[in-house]
Each structure stands twice: as structure tokens, then as C-alpha cells.
Structure 1
Amino acid sequence: MASPSDQELVFSFLGNTARHPGVRRIDTHAASVFLIGDRALKIKRAVRLPFLDYSTLDRRKAACVKEMEINHPFAPDIYLRVVAITKAPDGSFDVGGSGTPVEYAVEMRRFDDSQTLDHLSRRQQLDVGLGERLAETIAASHAVAVRSSSNLWTDSIPIWIDAFVASFRTVSRFGETEVEELRVLCHSAFARLRPLLEQRAKDGHVKRCHGDLHLANIVLIDDKPVLFDAIEFDDRIATIDVLYDLAFPLMDLLHFAQPVAASHLLNRYLSTAAPDQTGGLAALPLFMAIRAAIRAQVFVARFDRLDAEHSDADRSATIETAESYFQLARSLIRPAEPRMIAVGGLSGTGKSALARALAPLLVPPPGAIVLRSDVLRKQLSGVEETERLPAEAYTPESSARVYRELTTRASRVLSQGFTVIIDAVFARSDERQEIHDLAKRLKVPFAGLFLVADLRSRQERIHHRVADASDATVGVAEDQEHYDIGGLDWLQVDASGTAETTLDRSLSLLRASA
């Protein structure tokens, strides 16, 4: 067994700049990471905490093995092996030597930590497609995660709520009225959602997930998001509803003022990556609020651990971050009135671009759920989103089926408290009337936007499409010029300019009609 003093000797060896030039050490409450050349060595600290016990060498070795087991599937190019730190008879240390193991480390391939998503967010360097790529990565991890039908996950939620509320009551900057409001809203939401959460567990949506998907645990490598540092010390903490796993990066993107990326992440996850998860949308505000509150709790605890050696700026920044997450939790749990927006127009008018731009601007956060007829048609036909369909897939009967399914899915989203944007041509008056009638039945505000642009502009846009779900061609656009649109009582938007201009015009019309 290695004592804490032995571990400090190991840390001194690894941190020795003469032996390891340019070494950099990063400490957390549970681990110390040494960045040496193109490798990183992560060692569990000899500590015993309420939620983990690394107090013996055997426990630390087991934790390293578990970390490899959990994280290698997420990031096989990062997590390399568990390696012993050995001590020779002469008292010298080595990494993977022939002496006696006195410590164990997870050896990882070093990556550019300036490319973690928290750093990219701070620098405003998240491109619009990153949210979609992240959705595919997270959905892929959920697809292979091990299922659990236990209700332990559901039963733990009120315990977590009480725990973060108790921690907030120790912080003078958090008003008691605000803390109590958060407590009441979270417990009320949980009581209302409990039957749904228990049913989702029975249906297999509770799995052994990553569990700690804040933005600092996602790194961009070769333009692909890679998940790392998953929870390894307690399967119970990481065995959660997959939407609770997704809620962490969604919430954190909102914290870092990246609503567009959050909207793309959620919509891609639900539309193509994991469409079977739409039925759990009602729980997402609670999930995100809990994630934000627990993140605030983490920073409160971090503030409490700061000693006199830390600057006033460090202490101020830490408690301000805690307060920011606390206020985000309060905003996420507040109920918001959903609405329905239908975006119609002939091919090439920019419907999909407008729908994507509108989505993050609508409540509740992270924005509206976009239902696109072109994507849905491909799903109903059982083909990939960008695979071209034959002409028979566009018969009146098949199109009617698509619009019926759009209506069904819109109803499902709205009934769970989320705003929906339906993106389809809506060339027929009965199609427009049916979607309007749905809004009336569900008693939600409705707005129909119909985009118009000249043929040349539409054909030019269609010609430049790349890897898009739409099968429309320049010939289709010309044929559509002869459509009988019928009486149009929707808001007509001149979409002949840029996407930004179309968005501004649409927002003005929506505000005027509200």
C-alpha cells in the first residue's frame, strides 16, 4: 500500500522538470494530471470523499482500470493503457519500470486542451455544424450504452434537488426567496414527471452513460467532437436517462451563450440521431435545470476549498460562475408558453434556413423543435437523409402521409410544452388549414409564414445545395411556378434577399402579429 507521502514522492518525480522538461501539472479534487510531451498521466489522488474512495493503492488501481474500461469506447485514440509507476531498490522511480508498483496512472495521448468546447465557446469559435456533429457523437454513445430498468435513477432526483438547495442556502449571494422558488419548482416538476420518468426506465431509456458531459469534457480533434473523462467511480451516478446525459451539454452551451449550437444539438439529436427520444421532451427543462444547479453546487464547493493563496480575482470568478449557473437553473425551470410556427414556401425560398435561425430565439430554451418535411419523408421511406428518392415517393398519397405525420409529431412536441416549427412547402390550402386547426385544438398561439422569391433566385439556391435532405431540382422549382396556392392568409415574407434579411423580416412580422 502506498501512503500519501509515497504518492507525493511520485508526484515530485513526475513534476521534476529536469527529468520531464516542460511538464505541466493539473490538479482536481480527485486526480492529478501530468502533461509530459505527447502523453498525459492521470493519477487518482489518495483521498476519501463522500462519493469515492481512493485511499488505498488497490482502490486507485481499480479506479484506473475502470476509467479505461468506461472511457476507451468514447475516445479510443486518447485512452491508451493503465501503467504502473514503479520504485526500484535504489529508491528511483520510473513509468512502467521493472520495480515495485507504488502508484498507477491512466496513460492518455495528449490533445490540445485549447480545443475543448468550453474554450471554443469562450472564444466564440463554435461553427454552426458543431452542434449537429456533437448530436451524432452523443447519440452513438447512447446507442451502445448498457440499459437499466432500475428506478434508482428516478428515486435519486429529489435527493439531488435537496442537496443542491442545502448548499445554496450557505451562500449569502443566493437569496433565500430565489433558492426556495427553485426548490419548489424542481420538486413540483419532478412530481408531475415521475410517471413519465419511470415509464422511460421501463422502456430502456435509462442507461450507463458518460454522465459528466459538460463542455470541458468534450474536445474537438480533427474537427470531430470526442467525449472523454466519463464518470468511472460510481455506476449509479452515470446510470441515467439518456436525455439527462444530453441535458448537460445543452445546458452548458446556454451557459456559455451558445444558443445556436444548443438548438442544433437538440434538433439533430431528435430529428435524425435519436428520433425515439421525442417522447421525453417534457422532462428536458427539469433535467437542464438540475444540471445547471449541480454545476453551481460544484463551484460553490470549489469556492469553499480556495485558501488564502488564491487571489481575490480567483475567488470572485469562482463564486460568480456559481451564481451564473444558479440563475440559469432558475430560468430553465420556469414554465414557458409554447407556440406553433409553420414555415411554408416553394422550393428554394429558404424555409429550412429560416426555421433553423428562428429555433434558438424561441422559448423554452434551447428553442423550438424543427420538424422538416424533407427529413421526415426520408425517414418514412427508410433511407438516409441525403439519399435521393424516386418520383413515386412524391405522389399525392405519399405527401399526404408526410403531412399527417408532421401533424402527429407537432402535436406530440406541443403537448410536452415545447414550441414547434414546421418546415414544409404548404402549397395546398387544406395542408395549411389542418396545421392551423391543430394549434386551435391544442390552444397554442399560431403563426404561418409563407416565403416568396422569384424563380431565378430559387433555382440558384437549389443549384448550390450540397448534402441536403431536399430532392428538389431546378426543374421542380420551375414546375412549382404553376402551382395554385389558393387563398393565402399566412404572413407573406419576401425571401429574395439574404437569409439574415429574411430572418429580420420574419421576426418583424411575428412581433407585429403577436
Structure 2
Amino acid sequence: MPHLAGDMPPELEAEIIALLEGDVLAGPVRRIDTHGARVFVGQRETLKIKRPVAYSYMNFSTAEKRRRACLREVEINRGNAPELYLGVDRITREPDGTLAINGRGSPVEHAVRLKTFNPEDGFDRIVAREALDGRLAVALGDVVAWAHERAPEAEPNRGRTISEMRVRLVGSAQSRRAVFGESAVKTYAARSAQQLARVEFLLAQRRQAGAVKRCHGDLHLGNIVLWRGAPTLFDAIEFDEDLATIDPMYDLAFLLMDLVHRGQRAAGTLVLNRYLWRLGDAAVGDRTWEMLAALPLLIALRASVRAVVGIDRATDLTGVAKEEAEAEARAYLATANAALTPKRARLVAVGGLSGTGKSTLAGALAPELGAMPGSIHLRSDMERKRLAGVEPETRLGPTGYVPEMTTRTYATLHEKARIALRAGHSVIVDAVFSTTEERADIAALAAAVGVPFVGLWLEAPTEVKRARVAARKGDASDATVDVVDRQITRGVGTMTWHVVDASGDVAATRAQALERVAASDGPTN
């Protein structure tokens, strides 16, 4: 529990609150109190002061510590939200004894000044209203990838290891087992230990190689806002460098966990896949792809953090509010245990001529298969564009489709699929797979790694394919109606994959595909 700091008398805090609730901000002013701050939301701008409290993990017990925290908050958040964070204001004692903002007197406190945004534009509010739009999920993956690319590398041995965090969190869960339930806590402790044993060497190697960075640290949906049409990260941890000095995949895991816990698994799968695509070759070289092996553990740890914090906050509540808070905390621990439940990796290949709906089906299947948040979805069109160094929507000329480029594209699909499968993550690869050799090669990859394989071949009438291709806008595929006609003329040879009728809607095609996948138990289906 926190204690109030002694350097701010209650009457001074009350005076500051009265000032900020007055006319220093264009009104009306709405006040929000959190465990570490008081936020005064005006019509156009917001002022935020640190509360004079001290926790085991956050210490704002002196005016100097609060001043430094305000400066640090602006410093670390301006990189991701330059238009939101305006600076740090001084709250001064004027010669006449009154308080002012940036007056001529001596400062008695400091406040972070931000642009005010509509709370309904927070991603926590957005996902509470509706399923997160695919376009926004893709943009979110981009934004997180860019944030991690520019995040500074950590000093050697800075930050807590995943093993250390797990020990703390298991201890915290065990001390609260009266609320969580003995069985749930035992499951969490045992499964997290098993998962850590699998990946501890990889985590140590990543750390030694300099992968640990100064990240956001608190990357849940409540700290992301849709600002001027784009996802914007804000309110990064400023009070404890070690808490935010972490492997970027642990940072991402908080967001993925939050999406899954709120019933937005499809969005979580989209975010993960776009994040990996956006990082490009660097994510292979620095072993981010191999970190898929650790992702279930990282998601579970993030869920258990929310569970423990939820129990602590419930201690200040009574009645129905207390019961609801404790139930939500137990739900987070259930999410942690679900993430830690072993899932067998499998490889699904989705082939078909242009316009049969390969990418649409693969995207619909991805959230249904494998470990949280869902399968890796590798799309040949996306990898071809990445190899060409262009954005997905940029059309390629003839040189983008010469045999050499196609060979490189399929080689990339194989390489990434192999890494993900060996990490224990299911993979869906969607490409035309128009030749018997291409189909045999992807099946052989599954056999070499030792995972079940199912090949799905999508069929649709010619006019349906032509109409779908003609209607495409802003898509990674460059196929045209002429391409469809040429593919039909060339043929596809002997088909041994499961043929799926893709002439109907996505739901019908998905249902057929899931039946085939569920039946694919052996490594060579």
C-alpha cells in the first residue's frame, strides 16, 4: 500500500487542485484521479500532476522526484506522441501568496501539459464498442514496430530478466491465492515454469546480443489513442527505468494480451503479423521471429500483472464493486493459464488461383489456430512487396514477377515458416502454389520440422474469380483479370490437396477449411 509523502501538506495539495480546477484551463474541467497522478482535463489542453505517494515500484515522495518524473514523462513520450506532449509547466507561489501557472514566483510543484483528446478515441473504448477494424489493427502493428525500431538500446545488464519477473509474479499470485483459487495459482506456477525452461536460453541470448531496449513498458489499449486518424502511443512508464527496459516482444505482449482478453483475438493476430512484417529482415537477424517461442509465456506474465493489480485495487472497494473487481482479476489469471496451455504447431498451406480468396480465408483461419494470439500468416504478395522494398499497396512492374523474384519469394515464405514452426507456433502460408513442385516443397517443409500439414486448394467459378479481382482496391495483390485468365490456361497439374469450394461467403469457406484442418493429425496429410 502507498503512503502519503510528508513534503506536501494537505492544504497545499488542496490549493493546487483548486487552481487546476479553476480557470487556468478552458473549461469545463474534468478531474481524473489515478494511483499515481491527478489529471485535469480541459476543453483543449490537459494538466497532469504527480500525487505525493510512494509505492514499492513508484516513488513520488518529494517535489524533486515529481519534477524529474514530469520531465521524464515528456521526454520519453514525445517520440511516440509529439503532438500530444506539450511540455512541463511550473506551478509557482506568487509574491501576493497566490498560485499561478508559470508565474514569476518560486515553483512549488510541476505539471505535464498535454493536448486534450476525446476519451472515446482511446483504443480501450474503441474495442469495448466493436471489433477492432482490420485497418486499425494493421496500423497499430506498424506503429508499435516503428516505436521499437527507434527505441534506444539498454545499457548492459539494465532491466529485470523475464525469469526475475516470473518469480515475482508467481509469488504475488501465491500470496493472493485466497482470491484467485489454489488450483489456478498452482497451474500458473507450474505451466509458467515449464514454458520458461523452454526459452530461458533464448531469452538470455537475446539479452546478451543487445535486444533489450527502453520500451513503452505499459503498452495496453488504455494507453493508445486514435489521434488524427492514427494510433498513437502515450503514457509510457516514466517512474521506473527497469520496468520499461525489456525485450520489445515483452512490450508487444501486453498489447496482444489485452486484445485477446477483451475478445479481440482476430485483431491480436493481425497486429502480430503486421508487426513482424514491418520489421522486415531485421526481425529474422535479431531473432525476433524465434521469440515466438516465448510469446505464450510473455502474454501470460502480462495477464498475471493485470490480475495481481486488480486484486490490489479491489482491497479499496466494497460490495458489488469489490466482487466485480475480484472476478475480473480471476479472469486475467485464467487468460494467463490459457496462454500457457500447450498448443501443437501445424502448417496450413492455402493455394488457389487469383480471386479464390486465399488471403481472406487465411486471415479468417489465423485466430482459430495455434498459440495466442493466433497463427502466423505468411502471404506471398506481402513478402514479394517487402523483397521489392515497397509498401504492400504499391503495384510492381514486370520485374517484380520474373522467375527469380518468385523463387526468392517462396524461399522467404519457407524460411519464416520454418523458424515459426520450430518455435512452436502454427503457420498459415497463402500463395498460388500453382505447380506440383511448389506444393510438394511446402509439404516437405512440414515433414522436415515434424508438424502436421494440410494443403487447402480453393476453387471458384471463373466469373467469380474475375469479379473479385476486378473489385480489389488497395490490396497487396497485383493480379488482374488477364492474370486470372492466364493462370486458368496454364493449369495446375495433378491436385492432391483438399479442394475447398470458395465460391460462397467467407464463413462457409472457413467452415469447410476448419473441418479439413481439424482432421489433419498426421505430419503428412
| TM range, smaller chain | over 0.9
Partner of 2:3 in structure 1? Answer: none
Partner of 1:56 in structure 2? Answer: 62
The CA deviation string for residues 349-378 of structure 1, in whole angstroms up to 9 with x for no partner, is 110111111101112111110111111122
Partner of 1:246 in structure 2? Answer: 252
The CA deviation string for residues 48-96 of structure 1, in whole angstroms up to 9 with x for no partner, is 2212221111111111011110111111111111001122233322222
What aligned pairs does 1:103-502 form with structure 2 within 5 A after superposition? 103-148=109-154, 150-153=156-159, 156-169=161-174, 170-274=176-280, 276=283, 277-304=288-315, 306=316, 310-502=317-509
* 8 A Cα contact 2:145 2:278, kept in partner: no
Q: Between Structure 1 and Structure 2, how many residues are aligned?
A: 509
CA distance in 2, matches of 1:374, 1:19: 51
Give the structure-2-normalised TM-score: 0.92
Partner of 1:85 in structure 2? Answer: 91
The CA deviation string for residues 229-262 of structure 1, in whole angstroms up to 9 with x for no partner, is 0001121111111111111110000011001110
Give 1:21 deviation, angstroms. 5.0
Letter in 1 for 2:337: R
Letter in 2 for 1:165: V
Give 1:145 deviation, angstroms. 0.7
* 8 A Cα contact 1:149 1:202, kept in partner: no
Q: Which shows bigger deviation, 16-25 or 186-195?
A: 16-25
Q: Which shows bigger deviation, 501-510 or 96-105?
A: 501-510
CA distance in 2, matches of 1:81, 1:28: 20
Letter in 2 for 1:445: P
Give 1:19 deviation, angstroms. 9.2
In structure 2, relative to structure 1, the CA distance for the partners of 1:512 and 1:333 (3 Å cut) is closer
Query: RMSD of the alignment, in Å?
Result: 2.0
CA distance in 2, matches of 1:21, 1:469: 46
Letter in 2 for 1:97: G
Give 1:512 deviation, angstroms. 4.9
Give 1:471 deviation, angstroms. 1.9
Letter in 2 for 1:359: A
The CA deviation string for residues 433-465 of structure 1, in whole angstroms up to 9 with x for no partner, is 111122122221111110111222112111122
* 8 A Cα contact 2:25 2:43, kept in partner: no
Give 1:44 deviation, angstroms. 0.5
Letter in 1 for 2:186: E
CA distance in 2, matches of 1:16, 1:405: 60
Give 1:20 deviation, angstroms. 7.4
In structure 2, relative to structure 1, the CA distance for the partners of 1:124 and 1:58 (3 Å cut) is same
Letter in 2 for 1:328: T
In structure 2, relative to structure 1, the CA distance for the partners of 1:159 and 1:200 (3 Å cut) is closer
| Match status 1:510 vs 2:517 | yes
CA distance in 1, matches of 2:462, 2:337: 48
* 8 A Cα contact 1:295 1:325, kept in partner: yes
Letter in 2 for 1:386: E
| Match status 1:97 vs 2:103 | yes
CA distance in 1, matches of 2:112, 2:492: 64
| Match status 1:68 vs 2:79 | no
Give 1:157 deviation, angstroms. 2.4
SS in 2 for 1:52: coil
CA distance in 1, matches of 2:82, 2:436: 53
Give 1:499 deviation, angstroms. 2.5
In structure 2, relative to structure 1, the CA distance for the partners of 1:27 and 1:434 (3 Å cut) is same
The structure 1 residue matched to 2:45, chosen from 36, 39, 43, is 39
SS in 2 for 1:348: coil
Letter in 2 for 1:468: D
Letter in 2 for 1:270: L
In structure 2, relative to structure 1, the CA distance for the partners of 1:19 and 1:431 (3 Å cut) is closer
SS in 2 for 1:69: helix
SS in 2 for 1:53: coil
| Match status 1:28 vs 2:39 | no
Letter in 1 for 2:371: P
SS in 2 for 1:500: helix
SS in 2 for 1:173: helix
Give 1:34 deviation, angstroms. 1.1
* 8 A Cα contact 1:133 1:225, kept in partner: yes
In structure 2, relative to structure 1, the CA distance for the partners of 1:5 and 1:186 (3 Å cut) is farther
**Runs of 4+ residues deviating >6 angstroms:** 17-20
The CA deviation string for residues 318-355 of structure 1, in whole angstroms up to 9 with x for no partner, is 11221111110111112110111000000111101111
CA distance in 2, matches of 1:159, 1:135: 28
* 8 A Cα contact 1:350 1:451, kept in partner: yes
Alignment gaps of 5+ in structure 1: none
Q: Which shows bigger deviation, 480-489 or 158-167?
A: 158-167
CA distance in 2, matches of 1:438, 1:373: 16
Q: Which shows bigger deviation, 504-513 or 354-363?
A: 504-513
CA distance in 2, matches of 1:389, 1:218: 34
Give 1:311 deviation, angstroms. 4.9
Give 1:186 deviation, angstroms. 1.6
Letter in 2 for 1:89: P
Give 1:513 deviation, angstroms. 5.1
* 8 A Cα contact 1:77 1:109, kept in partner: yes
CA distance in 1, matches of 2:263, 2:475: 28
Give 1:405 deviation, angstroms. 2.5
Letter in 2 for 1:127: D
Give 1:125 deviation, angstroms. 4.8
CA distance in 1, matches of 2:49, 2:25: 18
Q: Which shows bigger deviation, 256-265 or 43-52?
A: 43-52
CA distance in 1, matches of 2:111, 2:327: 34
